[in-house]
Amino acid sequence: MASYLPQADSSFNSWFQNFKTLINATPTDYGLVAGDATAINGQWTAWNSAYQVTLVPATRTSPAIAAKDVARANAESIIRPYAMQVRNNSAVSDSLKVGLGLTIVPTSGTPVPPPTTFPNASLRLATPLVSTLTYQDSDATSGKAKPYGCVGVELVATVGTSPAVDPDVALPKAIVTKSPCRLRWEPSQVGKVATIWGRYLTRSGPGGEVQRGPWSAPTSFTII
């Protein structure tokens, strides 16, 4: 399997949160059972607890960093077999696999070209710690359909005191396959401004690699 786990701890944390949240919600959609979701969630709790300690200057000590590294290694040892199991399960749709952040097995045939359009996102509903977004293709005047060959939308986000302008400084937030979609926030982010960018993902392109389209314009709103 091509590399799919982000290297940076902050990106890995976002990836893992999305992975465990989707599987916990409906494990059978991924060919798993409730016990599998429990095992994954247990590793998430251990990892996230150790990771959060290293984010506070007062507690970012050498032992804390070492404990975080051990927690990540333990988490990856659980994640990878489940990811391989889901990826190789032909009964699980490509859109669900992409939604988990997995690399899709390349198939023979003509590669799908990279997307040239982007998803325009808008805030549909704001509730405590949850923002519901809708998106529509930049070339469409109505409907929710994605362009041909696109199986998901990659969302990245910044959270700060004012709207951001550069998607390159944003962190991975989610990979979604349906509109509307929900984004969840931390209590510490309430009152801050979230800025979201989105781009389409294809199933595979030349060399079997997922291809990404251009970023959308930013969408900003206040987290409640």
DSSP string, 173-193: EEEE-SSSEEEE--GGGTTSE
Domain boundaries, the chain: 9-93, 119-222
Q: Could you list the pLDDT tens digit for every one of the 224 residues in the chain?
A: 446 888 899 999 999 999 999 999 999 999 999 999 999 999 999 999 999 999 999 999 999 999 999 999 989 988 988 998 898 888 898 889 999 998 876 655 566 778 999 999 999 999 999 999 999 999 887 777 888 788 889 999 999 999 999 999 998 888 888 889 999 999 999 999 999 999 998 876 666 667 889 999 999 999 99
Tell me the residue type at 211: Q
What's the pTM?
Answer: 0.59
Q: Exposed e or buried b for every residue in 158-179, given b needs 16+ CB within 10 A?
A: bbeeeebeebeebebbbbbbeb
**H-state helical runs in the chain:** 9-25, 34-53, 62-87, 94-100
Three-state DSSP at 195 gives strand
Q: Indicate the CATH number of 119-222 among 1.10.8.350, 2.40.110.10, 1.20.58.2240, 2.60.40.10.
A: 2.60.40.10
